[in-house]
Amino acid sequence: MCGIIGYVGETDAIDVLLDGLSELEYRGYDSAGVALTTETVHVRKSEGKLEALKAQLSDAKLRGPTTGIGHTRWSTHGPPSDANAHPHTDEAGRVAVVHNGIIENYQSLRDELTSADVAFESDTDTEVIPHLIASFLEAGDDPETAFRRTIGRLEGSYAIAAVFEGRDEIYAARHESPLVLGVGDGGYYLASDVPAFLEYTDRAVYVEDGELVRLENDELVVTDESGTVVEKSVETVDWDAEDTGKSGYDHYMLKEIYEQPTALRQCLRGRVDELAGEITLEELEDIGDVSRVQFVACGTSYHAALYGAELCRSHGVHASTQIASEFAADRMPLDAETLVVGVTQSGETADTLRALREAASAGANTLVVTNTVGSSATRVCDHVLYIRAGPEIGVAATKTFASQQIALTLLAGKLSDGLSYDDIESLRDVPDLVQTVLDTSKAREIAEEILGSDAYLFIGRGLAYPVALEGALKFKEITYEHAEGFAAGELKHGPLALVTDRTPVFAVVTGNDELAQKTISNIKEVEARDAPVVLVTDGQSGADRYADYVLEIPVADELSAAVVANVQLQLISYWVANLMGRSIDKPRNLAKSVTVE
């Protein structure tokens, strides 16, 4: 998804912008560009990776300017190309603009500008912005007024930053797209995401919808829609730059898989009170009466939501889950006792945000379970539960999924009378159990054995069902191989037709209850069709005897087992993708934060 960086300060802006753009790469992009301003505005942009942009930056004119903006673009309107890359300028090149989001009324604005003889150079929705600003400048407005009037004409979602010729200033605004400011010593930063400037400062100011920002090297001014100055608080971000580096791992994904014991400890810290014998979620003390829980989420977070809903239901709480893009508040009963829970690690997923906004407008109580402090979802919702996983840079979600599982278990405990402190207490062992898997996993060896198969199937029941779905999603995301997840009992209703001796089946079987025995019956069905069976198990059910390969997990109770089992599936995906030489941290066609519907 598009990323924005801006800097106004005392040192060469180009270096700060390039550092920021590198940090934003994880969001996914297909072109990049920068604009630096002195007496004139210098724009350089290029289709492709940052290296292609860097090849254009040897020009001496780009050294010296201390004000600039940069952008990584993920195409929405018009294909990836030099012309469609940001920044975009007006015809005279006096103003340059970068934008993240979608301008929904761009076509009518473009028609209006074209009929006033404005010539467009790109297919993007963004290009209307600099042309509109220029039209107001020509009418005699100063830059701030021209920028404000332009913002007033836009519909849709956006984070926008603009620089003008001859002015060491950046103007910026947002509506439903992320924008955060960094407060440094001798300069200010602006970005879609904190890691873009974390190397320079950990002091952040979160911009709200409707606010307008003016940054100079010694002044940060935020005003509301009427132009009144808004006092903003500066928050210290408790991530350090080391947290966002690879720390010796080949990929962020592997690093983040190995960070899970720490992430889970952070998620649990202070929330399972041994002395008091209770779950303490201070954030949710005023959650109110909840008669029904409706989860909304996308992708991996949707699988976590399925997991949370299953836990709620199995402990007496009415709960269901919907893919956020399918959610419509007018097609379901919602009232003040319905808790609509958005699960989103980024807090910026457009589909989830829309669902939460609709739910809030319909009068529901709203909660977001997220990793990102100050994200848009935290401002939309009545309540926030942080999963505290730390920064996740790999596009494929790993530690945030595990942390979501734990946070949602705590939530289920909070909402349910059936899930007691005694049940949940055992979660404190999860970090150590995950560490055991990380230390002993045979995933790499098994990946070598199954590589080159026709397709990869994943099955599970109960809490292991969302884990099977997540295992398949992770596998397809980073290996680009065909992978599907199923409820184990559904195999015989269709998917069994896919099963051959060239389709390994990953089966998650933990404990030794009725569900485990039923899954063993399903394993026998695929075994009878010669499919290689890869079992993720703690060995309690005796399913091992039907397996070709075993990914062992330590014996754990029901609440911990599905979290631990998932780690083996993450490792299998990682090692298959690694052996295939895939772009693991930035898989093709994917973005870390999907800010369009």
Considering the complex, state which of residue 53 and residue 472 has its C-beta at the smaller distance from ligand AGP: 472
Task: Please state whether beta strands 383-386 and 365-370 pair in parallel, antiparallel, or not at all (unpaired).
Answer: parallel
Q: Which of 2, 267, 312, 381 is catalytic?
A: 2
Q: Which of 414, 474, 476, 592 is catalytic?
A: 592
The least CB distance from residue 478 to ligand AGP, in Å, is: 8
Please work out the total of residues on this chain that contact ligand AGP, with binding judged by CB under 6 A: 16
Contacts to ligand AGP from residues 363-392, by CB under 6 A = none
| Residue 337-366 contact track with ligand AGP, rule CB under 6 A, x = bound | -------xxx--x--x--------------
User: What gap in Å lies between CA 403 and CA 387, rounded to an integer?
Assistant: 6
The least CB distance from residue 295 to ligand AGP, in Å, is: 12
User: What gap in Å lies between CA 237 and CA 212, rounded to an integer?
Assistant: 22
The least CB distance from residue 489 to ligand AGP, in Å, is: 25
The least CB distance from residue 301 to ligand AGP, in Å, is: 4
Query: In the set 299, 413, 504, 532, which binds ligand AGP (CB under 6 A)?
Result: 299
DSSP 6: E
User: What gap in Å lies between CA 194 and CA 207, rounded to an integer?
Assistant: 12
Torsion of CA 441, 444, 446, 450, to 10 degrees: 150
Contacts to ligand AGP from residues 476-515, by CB under 6 A = 477
Considering the complex, state which of residue 201 and residue 300 has its C-beta at the smaller distance from ligand AGP: 300
Determine if 573 is a binding residue for ligand AGP (CB under 6 A): no
Determine if 462 is a binding residue for ligand AGP (CB under 6 A): no
Considering the complex, state which of residue 133 and residue 306 has its C-beta at the smaller distance from ligand AGP: 306
The window from 159-167, 264-272, 394-402, 452-460 that contacts ligand AGP (CB under 6 A) reads 394-402
Query: In the set 396, 406, 498, 559, which binds ligand AGP (CB under 6 A)?
Result: 396
Is 298 catalytic? The answer is no
- Classify residue 155 as left (phi > 0), alpha (psi -120 to 50) or beta: beta
Sign for the pseudo-dihedral over CA of 590, 536, 434, 441: negative
Determine if 397 is a binding residue for ligand AGP (CB under 6 A): yes
The window from 252-260, 270-278, 283-291, 587-595 that contacts ligand AGP (CB under 6 A) reads 587-595
The window from 32-40, 53-61, 298-306, 452-460 that contacts ligand AGP (CB under 6 A) reads 298-306
Q: What are phi and psi of 495, to 5 degrees?
A: -55, -20
For residue 298, CA distances in Å to 238, 321, 367 come to 27, 10, 16
* Residue (of 180, 252, 283) closest to 570 by Cα position: 252
The strand ranges marked E within 202-357 are 203-206, 212-216, 219-223, 235-236, 272-273, 278-279, 292-297, 319-323, 338-344
The least CB distance from residue 325 to ligand AGP, in Å, is: 11
Considering the complex, state which of residue 50 and residue 396 has its C-beta at the smaller distance from ligand AGP: 396
Query: In the set 109, 237, 298, 499, which binds ligand AGP (CB under 6 A)?
Result: 298
The two three-digit tokens of residue 497, written as one number:
């037709």
Cβ-count burial of 120 within 10 angstroms (0-12 exposed, 13-18 middle, 19+ buried)? Answer: middle
User: What gap in Å lies between CA 485 and CA 573, rounded to an integer?
Assistant: 13
The least CB distance from residue 246 to ligand AGP, in Å, is: 18
User: What gap in Å lies between CA 96 and CA 90, rounded to an integer?
Assistant: 7
User: What gap in Å lies between CA 124 and CA 114, rounded to an integer?
Assistant: 14
Residue nearest to ligand AGP (CB): 299
The window from 82-90, 276-284, 292-300, 413-421 that contacts ligand AGP (CB under 6 A) reads 292-300
The residue type found at 514 is E
The least CB distance from residue 587 to ligand AGP, in Å, is: 8
Considering the complex, state which of residue 344 and residue 510 has its C-beta at the smaller distance from ligand AGP: 344
User: What gap in Å lies between CA 457 and CA 486, rounded to an integer?
Assistant: 8
* Residue (of 166, 170, 86) closest to 128 by Cα position: 86
Query: In the set 301, 405, 568, 570, which binds ligand AGP (CB under 6 A)?
Result: 301
Is 592 catalytic? The answer is yes
* Residue (of 514, 520, 511, 516) closest to 557 by Cα position: 511
Determine if 594 is a binding residue for ligand AGP (CB under 6 A): yes
The least CB distance from residue 402 to ligand AGP, in Å, is: 12
Binding site for ligand AGP (CB under 6 A): 298-301, 344-346, 349, 352, 395-397, 477, 590, 593-594
What are the catalytic residues? 2, 592
